[in-house]
């Protein structure tokens, strides 16, 4: 598959019918990670509208559509990753012989998150701590206005405390936390943390 090479370095490991993209966490990345994320999702996403912040190659956008989501919007700033997302979507549409209602926006989260309407769930996987400076306040404020359900992935308990405080001030409660191990192949020590914030 020539395109895979042309599309450069991959972050997400995605199975494209026999060809695995070589994501940085190693084999099984999306599969293992999505299994963990599904703990926080309803059994079906039928009829739901989902926003994926920093969606990268769009692996979780596709998984959400496969679980029945009505529409998924993904925002991705990096041009390579954005092109990968479009490529993966087209590949999956061929694989499943159906259209996937995923809209990718190429740009910075803080420039787009405000004008997209309401979402049933917002994904913020390994992204909030990449938003620099005062933009984070605007981004979290817009997230709080457009959803009651945020699922975020963090890299440390310090990040969890910081963003829990932020979302508490915006009317959310920490609903559940999950410590993830084994996401990095043989590296059993590095952990990630999934946290769900719910607005009552």
Ligand X SMILES: C[S@@+](CC[C@H](N)C(=O)[O-])C[C@H]1O[C@@H](n2cnc3c(N)ncnc32)[C@H](O)[C@@H]1O
Paired residues of 177 in beta bridges: 195
Residue 27 and residue 15: Cα distance in Å, rounded?
Answer: 9
DSSP state of 184: B
- Residues 160 and 154: their CA atoms lie apart, in Å, by 6
Binders of ligand X among 6-25, rule CB under 6 A?
A: 11-12
DSSP 106: E
| Order of all β-strands in the sheet with 49-53 | 102-106, 71-76, 49-53, 121-125, 149-154, 192-199, 172-180
Taking the least distance from each CB to ligand X, the nearer of 45 and 136 is: 136
Q: Which of 109, 121, 140, 194 binds ligand X (CB under 6 A)?
A: 109
Q: Give the nearest residue (CB) to ligand X.
A: 54
Give the tokens for residue 133.
């400076």
131 binds ligand X (CB under 6 A): yes
Name which of 97 and 152 has its Cβ closer to ligand X: 152
Minimum CB separation from ligand X for residue 192, in Å?
A: 9
Residue among 150, 73, 77, 70 at smallest CA distance from 117: 73
Here's the x/- map for ligand X, 76-105, by CB under 6 A: it reads as xxx--x------------------------
Size of the site for ligand X (CB under 6 A): 18
Contact track, ligand X, 111-130, x by CB under 6 A: --------------xxx--x
Instruction: Give CA–CA dist 79/7, Å, rounded.
Output: 10
Q: Which two tokens stand for residue 45?
A: 């996403």
Q: Which is closer to ligand X, CB of 173 or CB of 181?
A: 181
Cβ closest to ligand X, residue 171 vs residue 182: 182
Which 50-79 positions form the footprint of ligand X (CB under 6 A)? 54-56, 75-78
Asked whether position 172 contacts ligand X by CB under 6 A, the answer is no
**Residues counted in the chain:** 200
Binding site for ligand X (CB under 6 A): 11-12, 54-56, 75-78, 81, 108-109, 125-127, 130-131, 153
């Amino acid at each position: 598959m020539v395109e895979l090479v042309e599309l450069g370095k991959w972050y997400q490991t995605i199975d494209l019918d026999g060809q695995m993209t070589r994501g940085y966490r190693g084999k099984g990345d999306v599969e293992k990670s999505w299994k963990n994320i599904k703990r926080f999702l309803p059994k079906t996403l039928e009829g739901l509208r989902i926003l994926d912040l920093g969606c990268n190659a769009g692996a979780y956008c596709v998984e959400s559509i496969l679980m029945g989501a009505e529409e998924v919007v993904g925002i991705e700033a990096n041009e390579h990753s954005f092109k990968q997302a479009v490529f993966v979507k087209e590949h999956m549409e061929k694989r499943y012989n159906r259209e996937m209602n995923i809209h990718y926006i190429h740009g910075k989260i803080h420039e787009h998150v405000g004008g997209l309407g309401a979402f049933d769930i917002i994904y913020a996987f390994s992204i909030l701590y990449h938003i620099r400076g005062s933009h984070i306040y605007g981004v979290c404020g817009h997230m709080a206005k457009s959803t009651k359900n945020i699922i975020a992935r963090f890299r440390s308990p310090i990040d969890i405390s910081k963003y829990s405080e932020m979302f508490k001030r915006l009317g959310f409660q920490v609903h559940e936390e999950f410590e993830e191990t084994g996401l990095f192949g043989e590296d059993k020590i590095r952990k990630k943390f999934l946290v769900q914030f719910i607005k009552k």
